[in-house]
Structure 1
């Protein structure tokens, strides 16, 4: 064989070989075991191809030759956080009628910007409960390809709701425009069709609304939306396609209807009553209370374009929602971590931890909500939310003890997702 031919064959053979696994070594001053709630001193993690392969005492696990080393000996390391309710495609200073001027391309670019901010805040996985034109699906794929920087995204596609309701419709335009939102569906077969459409275009889960909302024009925040028959059809269709369902629900009746229909989680849960809490416990429905954003809505909302009727609704909602968070926690309901980011500025997600502690949780319970509880809710149990062999190498580092002062999570110094570092501000 000629030398040139031998070189060509060698090159082709090299291309056929799998790439060598990259080994990453992380040294942690202390590591938070979220299951036990213990801080383990002087730990090391060995990572290959974005997954954790070993966790041990640093003395028993030295760095292998050739490994990429990250020395976090002066920091507390814990799993990457997750947020179950993040509106990446909206900004906190664009509410009400201002949103009519936002095109789909602009919203998509805004989503890419906010995805980076969210990841740099330490949130390595998020659930996006609805986006225009399947922009969330596109962003999910762009991040997975490496074309954009952001957390692991679970996309709902287009939120589904009734005519004139909080989800699915847009009530800002007058009748003569003949405008109906892209997620509107009335009746059991119509909601099934919308679920099928979302599945067709790549939704990871389904978002609906079973009550009115705070930030929508013309809806009563506690009033039911969708009948039990319609909600049951929606959930049956989604579950038949292997998709979980979450329902925006403030009012007690709408919360009960959604739980009885079989939804997997309730967003907001502001006016939940004792029966709703009992049903949630009985059926394993996760309650996602967004108890941080009240201050922003009432303090900055008018400047951001939030409608006067929405500000009035928030005045009725905020204090009651926080008291019901306390009641639901005391009763033993499962509480996830979701913030409604986009109502307030992105990147401030961790500010909710201190509110959760103020209204009844211990710091480790709040951290578990944003790790192991959300992992189960997302269907990613065994993949995210813990630092164990086989899990994605998603981890963050803070300079302090989050079990003593949960606000240290508001200043994340180091972020790794899938073995890649996206922030190092030590």
Structure 2
């Protein structure tokens, strides 16, 4: 009996030691080329050492310890996980989107969002900023953080803020029976006090940031795509309250006047920026605001507007007018010296093709390396995560991706991410 006990005890100890060895196993990622986003340089033959969810070292040459977990990317170009500052993980626009608002339950939206989140992650975007949904996006973030489902690290605005009839008024296009009179709880703001209450409600709901629709928009069922829709006083109240609660503010804006009010009011990012004037560009530089151009969305909505019945009739002229303008405005803003943050508006178009934005930015005049920096170190700074994401360096989260080719020579390679690690876990390796 005593001998049997010793045998069982020995086996249990061996199993425990083995489990501890596996859980604490260190991975060595062998990189043919490695992009240093901070310096903008590309280095050859590097090894990234990863333990648990952090990068513990970046070493010269190929380090291959005996019995180590080796990840061989010697024929790839390795870089930090990408950050998209403008996505909508609850949706993927199609010709049924308008009616879906009335027939899908919250659970249906949630199930759809799980697929969109996984697709986004597996295409190299390990962090995203979700700029508006029903609030399911907050639960989605929580589920990802808890490890229940795969997806990117999510910073979410919850439900966007609008004025009555504005771009993010949730009852636009509804019948008079359903249109109601939504207020701050639902994200509709018509005064300074409404603005403060709406921010506090977003904080209570669990949002990470605030999104306002400072002008009309393309896909809302409303006539104007660019008129100003908040007063400066309302925007200032929203931005001041957001700051008190540790949140920054993003502003959807196509029209120039609405952009100026948003920038002066204190927003951190302007989304789209379609009709931005040189005066507004100067204001952005003065107030340290960043443009998130979403060129892909502009091109996609312009193309879809040519398909009969894809959008409601009221949307079509806005899509045809706004879509073709965004890339040119981006190019002028970049040359002027406006800060550029990478963002796509994925959800307005198919999730997973976010990488197209890199090519469109290069076409608009931005060097390839700077587009990658916009999607890494710039976005990390705006999210106040500069010491945790956006670089491959000691102490950073192990968010690491790889592509087949050097993007400074072939930018289209960013559309085909072949390796994805987030928080030290490999989600894709083909």
Contact 2:298-2:326 within 8 A present in 1 as well: no
Q: 1:270 aligns to what? A: 274
Q: 1:359 aligns to what? A: 364
Tell me the distance in 1 between the aligned counterparts of 2:322 and 2:58: 44
Q: Kindly indicate whether residue 217 of structure 2 is the aligned counterpart of residue 213 of structure 1.
A: yes
Point out where structure 1 has 5 or more consecutive residues left out of the alignment. none
Contact 2:30-2:48 within 8 A present in 1 as well: yes
Contact 1:95-1:305 within 8 A present in 2 as well: no
Pair 114,303 (structure 1): closer, same or farther in 2 beyond 3 Å: farther
Q: 1:83 aligns to what? A: 84
Pair 223,42 (structure 1): closer, same or farther in 2 beyond 3 Å: same
Structure 2 counterpart SS, 1:292 = helix
Q: 2:395 aligns to what? A: 390
Structure 2 counterpart of 1:331, from 327, 336, 360: 336
Structure 2 counterpart SS, 1:271 = coil
Contact 1:137-1:157 within 8 A present in 2 as well: yes
The 5-angstrom pairing of residues 11-410 of structure 1 reads 21-59=24-62, 62-93=63-94, 94-132=96-134, 134-181=135-182, 182-301=186-305, 302=307, 305-410=310-415
Q: Deviations over 1:275-295 (max 9, x none)?
A: 110011111101101111233
Tell me the distance in 2 between the aligned counterparts of 1:178 and 1:399: 51
Tell me the distance in 1 between the aligned counterparts of 2:319 and 2:51: 47
Contact 2:299-2:324 within 8 A present in 1 as well: no
Tell me the distance in 2 between the aligned counterparts of 1:304 and 1:36: 48
Contact 2:28-2:47 within 8 A present in 1 as well: yes
CA RMSD of aligned residues (A): 2.2
C-alpha displacement of 1:24: 1.4
Q: Deviations over 1:17-61 (max 9, x none)?
A: 9996331110001101122222211100001121111112125xx
Structure 1 counterpart SS, 2:340 = coil
Pair 89,48 (structure 1): closer, same or farther in 2 beyond 3 Å: same
Q: Deviations over 1:71-108 (max 9, x none)?
A: 10111101111101111111132433443322211111
Tell me the distance in 2 between the aligned counterparts of 1:18 and 1:193: 50
C-alpha displacement of 1:198: 0.9
Contact 2:418-2:429 within 8 A present in 1 as well: yes
Tell me the distance in 1 between the aligned counterparts of 2:225 and 2:104: 25
C-alpha displacement of 1:178: 4.0
Tell me the distance in 2 between the aligned counterparts of 1:189 and 1:326: 38
Output the TM-score relative to the length of structure 1: 0.92
Tell me the distance in 2 between the aligned counterparts of 1:324 and 1:54: 41
Q: Deviations over 1:304-323 (max 9, x none)?
A: 73222222112211232222
Contact 1:98-1:305 within 8 A present in 2 as well: no
Contact 1:169-1:180 within 8 A present in 2 as well: no
Contact 1:52-1:393 within 8 A present in 2 as well: yes
Point out where structure 2 has 5 or more consecutive residues left out of the alignment. none
Tell me the distance in 1 between the aligned counterparts of 2:223 and 2:271: 17
Contact 1:228-1:258 within 8 A present in 2 as well: yes
Q: Deviations over 1:313-342 (max 9, x none)?
A: 122112322221111000111011111101
C-alpha displacement of 1:136: 1.1
C-alpha displacement of 1:219: 4.1
Aligned residues: 415
The 5-angstrom pairing of residues 402-421 of structure 1 reads 402-421=407-426
Q: Deviations over 1:374-396 (max 9, x none)?
A: 11111211111111111111111
Tell me the distance in 1 between the aligned counterparts of 2:320 and 2:364: 18
Contact 1:95-1:306 within 8 A present in 2 as well: no
Contact 2:269-2:291 within 8 A present in 1 as well: yes
